[in-house]
Amino acid sequence: MCGIYGYLSLKERAQPEILRRMGETLQHRGPDDEGAWIQHSEELSIGLGHKRLSIIDLSSAAQQPMCNEDGSIWLSYNGEIYNFRELRSELASKGHTFKSSSDTEVIIHLYEEMGVGCLERLKGMFAFALWDHGRHALFLARDRIGKKPLHYAIYDGGIVFASEIKALLKHPKVGREIDFSSLNKYLTLEYVPAPHTIFKSIRKLEPGHYLLHQNGKFEVKKYWDIPLADYPIGFKTEDEYVEELREILERAVRSRLIADVPVGVFLSGGIDSGLVAAIAARANRQIECFSIGFDEKSFDESRHANSVAKALNLNHSLKIFSTREMLDNLDQLPNFLDEPLADASILPSYLLSKVASERLKVALSGDGGDELFAGYPTYQAHRIVTYYDSLPEMLKNGVKSLASCLPVSHADISTDFKIKQFLRGAGVSSEIRFFIWMGSFTEGEKKELLSNDLRAALSHDNTYEDIFAYVRASGLNKDLERILYLSMKLYLQDGVLVKVDRASMANSLEVRCPLLDQEFVEFACRLPMQYKLHGLKTKYLLKRAAAGILPDHIINRKKKGFGIPISKWLTGELKSYMLDYLGEGRIKRQGFFNYPCVKRLIDEHLEKKKDNRKLLWTLLVFQIWYERFFENPRTV
């Protein structure tokens, strides 16, 4: 796990000082070692940089940027290739020689054999920049699911790239202008979907894609996509599928235990991390599991993690945090996020990573299970809402009237919040409904929120254009299959995995996700839907596979996210903070939002007329980010 950065210029010589400034912003991603390489020719100049977090082959032989024997190919790489030993053996049999035992060198020699086709053979999480001097080609690539980030900016005469946006902003050709279309999407989705970023000049390389820059031109191509189908055919019995799931997951976990440094496991108390921990413990009885809890009991899930740890006899480390300790990290969000991300679980994710990083460099997590096996309550709600939509209009109006009379509670996912959130998604298409349920502002709410100028600038903007484009590209026709596909292409890739990467790497910790192993993902995609959402039972086959491994009460308990009491905090510990960042002076000075609308949202929440937690948190995160990147830009 590392930080990569660099740029190619067709008009000017690459400057060591620019590379140095870019690299300084990524120190947290690789504090163990660093390297930079620059090459000039008559046609162009290129510089590659690398910040190293040493995981495999801790020696100087694995230092990056790394080259082949004659120096014609150079690589700066971030990630882990889990089948590198198999590939190394194949390449050695073909005459390739190795100076290190790292997976980095395998990529270089595999490229020599296959060119960009090498991506078909790489199994793992990765983002890399490879320079091929013979072809004068810069090859940027990102793993299939999007575990590792890669951003780039094309400018007149070159291209700049890096693991994180802040590094690109250190290049003089990369501007800071906000992309209002991306802001519009963020307000609805709570994140900015790839290939967009919050900055006009910067793009994300999408998961499963590569970019080739050659002879002053560039092209972006897709090499893999999530292989969901409308009508997958099940050739095996349920018991056979359970056994296959266990076998594939065991291979995925064991391959992610390979490292030359200690490896641990994040343990949340849910079925996903519990299964990963159980399998990891079979391979290494000394492996340590990490959990955190909170002094706010209604949100504390540590008792479930403790229950799993005791049942599996795991070596378990648990730390309880106070509300104050949690909130003390709020101002740090822009330092490691780079663009707004309104997933409040970023705070506990950051603290969990911080605790684990004090003891190790690598941790396994259970991310991915909800997207692969329809684990979110929204999938259950989708099946229920079809019945609601078929009711006579008079009955639906009655339900809405009753819901509006429910007393507002600031408790975690309270009944009134769930019912009102459910009704927000009624009457719209299934794929849009999912993002209304999971996201923040609706189109109607944004009409009130956005200033006249911004609303005019976005008059031809379509918030959901990425969703519709993905639906067309997928070729899927069935609702649940579409929703699963979109949740992986957007919510997982641009929300969950961004959160995990930034929270962990801010603490110089590598997180590996066995449930997002390529073989496991492709297995899950081949399963008929009944093995994912069985009636209203979510994660059906995963729960069957966990039987006999995890306690029944863990397998069958209701889904509970890594939540924090945002609604309550906004009326208490965060109230003055919110009133400051969402104050009239700031809002009017920026010119993006209508202050009367913002004030109404605040007043409704404080007076318990409405639970506006998601809307207010989305705005608050943007305001914190904006202050750091625009009002105090020298700090970034």
Q: Residue 205: pLDDT band by 50, 70, 90 thresholds?
A: very high
pLDDT, the chain, mean: 92
List, as one string, the DSSP characters of 263-321: EEEE--SSHHHHHHHHHHHHH-TT-EEEEEEES-GGG--HHHHHHHHHHHT-EEEEEEE
Residue pLDDT, tens place only, 135-187:
999 999 999 999 999 999 999 889 999 999 999 999 999 999 999 999 999 99
Residues 247 and 164 both lie in one domain: no
- For residue 523, the model assigns a pLDDT of 97
pLDDT at 326 over 90: no
Residue pLDDT, tens place only, 265-281:
999 888 999 999 999 99
Residues 178 and 126 both lie in one domain: yes
pLDDT at 257 over 80: yes
Token digits of residue 519: 């073989």
pLDDT at 109 over 60: yes
Residues 215 and 256 both lie in one domain: no
What b/e string do you get for 508-544 counting C-beta neighbours within 10 Å, with b at 16 or more?
bbbbbbbbbbbebbebbbbbebebbbeeeebbbbbbb
Residue pLDDT, tens place only, 585-616:
999 999 999 999 999 999 999 999 999 999 99
Residues contacting 163, CB < 8 A, separation 6+: 2, 3, 4, 5, 26, 29, 78, 127, 148, 149, 150, 151
Residues 127 and 207 both lie in one domain: yes
List, as one string, the DSSP characters of 25-81: TTGGG-BSEEEEEEEE-SS-EEEEEEEE---S--SGGG-SSEE-TTSSEEEEEEEEE
Residues 145 and 286 both lie in one domain: no
What b/e string do you get for 217-248 counting C-beta neighbours within 10 Å, with b at 16 or more?
ebeeeeeeebebeeeeeeeeeeeebbeebbeb
Give the mean pLDDT of 118-147.
Answer: 97
What CATH number did the domain enclosing 360 receive?
Answer: 3.40.50.620
Query: Half-sphere exposure of 251 toward its Cβ, with a 13 Å CA cutoff?
Result: 15
Compute the distance between CA of residue 151 and CA of residue 167 in angstroms, rounded to an integer: 9
What CATH number did the domain enclosing 178 receive?
Answer: 3.60.20.10
pTM: 0.94
Give the mean pLDDT of 248-262.
Answer: 96
Give the mean pLDDT of 507-521.
Answer: 97
Token digits of residue 94: 């073909």
Residues 171 and 54 both lie in one domain: yes
Residues contacting 394, CB < 8 A, separation 6+: none
Give the mean pLDDT of 616-621.
Answer: 97
pLDDT at 406 over 70: no
Last residue of a domain, one of 222, 254, 288: 222
- For residue 541, the model assigns a pLDDT of 97
Q: Residue 330: pLDDT band by 50, 70, 90 thresholds?
A: confident
Q: Looking at the 3D structure of the chain, how many domains does it have?
A: 2
- For residue 322, the model assigns a pLDDT of 83
Give the mean pLDDT of 227-250.
Answer: 94
* CA triple 307-313-318, angle to 5 deg: 55
pLDDT at 403 over 60: no
Phi/psi of residue 251, each to 5°? -65, -40
| Beta strands 137-142 and 315-321, pairing class | unpaired
Q: Residue 1: pLDDT band by 50, 70, 90 thresholds?
A: low
Residues 258 and 205 both lie in one domain: no
**Could you tell me if residue 167 is inside a domain?**
yes
- For residue 269, the model assigns a pLDDT of 83
**Could you tell me if residue 71 is inside a domain?**
yes
**Could you tell me if residue 191 is inside a domain?**
yes
Residues 20 and 119 both lie in one domain: yes
Last residue of a domain, one of 188, 222, 256: 222
- For residue 561, the model assigns a pLDDT of 60
**Could you tell me if residue 412 is inside a domain?**
no
pLDDT at 405 over 70: no
H or E segment and range at residue 518 = helix 518-526
Compute the distance between CA of residue 105 and CA of residue 128 in angstroms, rounded to an integer: 12
Residues 121 and 257 both lie in one domain: no
SS3 at position 170: coil
Compute the distance between CA of residue 233 and CA of residue 528 in angstroms, rounded to an integer: 7
Give the mean pLDDT of 95-105.
Answer: 94
Token digits of residue 518: 């390529």
Is residue 160 within 8 Å of residue 173, measured between CB atoms?
yes
Residue pLDDT, tens place only, 479-510:
999 999 999 999 999 999 999 999 999 999 99
Residues 117 and 250 both lie in one domain: no
Give the mean pLDDT of 289-294.
Answer: 90
**Could you tell me if residue 439 is inside a domain?**
no
Is residue 38 within 8 Å of residue 14, measured between CB atoms?
yes
Compute the distance between CA of residue 301 and CA of residue 352 in angstroms, rounded to an integer: 13
Q: At what angle do helices 465-474 and 430-438 cross, to 10 degrees?
A: 130
Compute the distance between CA of residue 253 and CA of residue 629 in angstroms, rounded to an integer: 39
- For residue 408, the model assigns a pLDDT of 64
Catalytic residues: 2
Residues 149 and 55 both lie in one domain: yes
Q: How many residues in the chain?
A: 636
- For residue 398, the model assigns a pLDDT of 66
**Could you tell me if residue 87 is inside a domain?**
yes
Q: Residue 71: pLDDT band by 50, 70, 90 thresholds?
A: very high
- Of all residues in the chain, the percent with pLDDT exceeding 90 is 76
Residue pLDDT, tens place only, 528-550:
999 999 999 999 999 999 999 99
- Domain extent, residue 37, equals 2-222
- Nearest C-alpha neighbor of 252 from the set 522, 504, 555: 522
pLDDT at 564 over 80: no
Residues 184 and 276 both lie in one domain: no
Where is pLDDT greater, at 325 or 147? 147
Token digits of residue 58: 């801790």
Across 152-161, 375-384, 430-439, the highest mean pLDDT is recorded for: 152-161
Is residue 279 within 8 Å of residue 249, measured between CB atoms?
yes
**Could you tell me if residue 581 is inside a domain?**
no
Last residue of a domain, one of 514, 535, 556: 556
Give the mean pLDDT of 450-461.
Answer: 95
**Could you tell me if residue 146 is inside a domain?**
yes
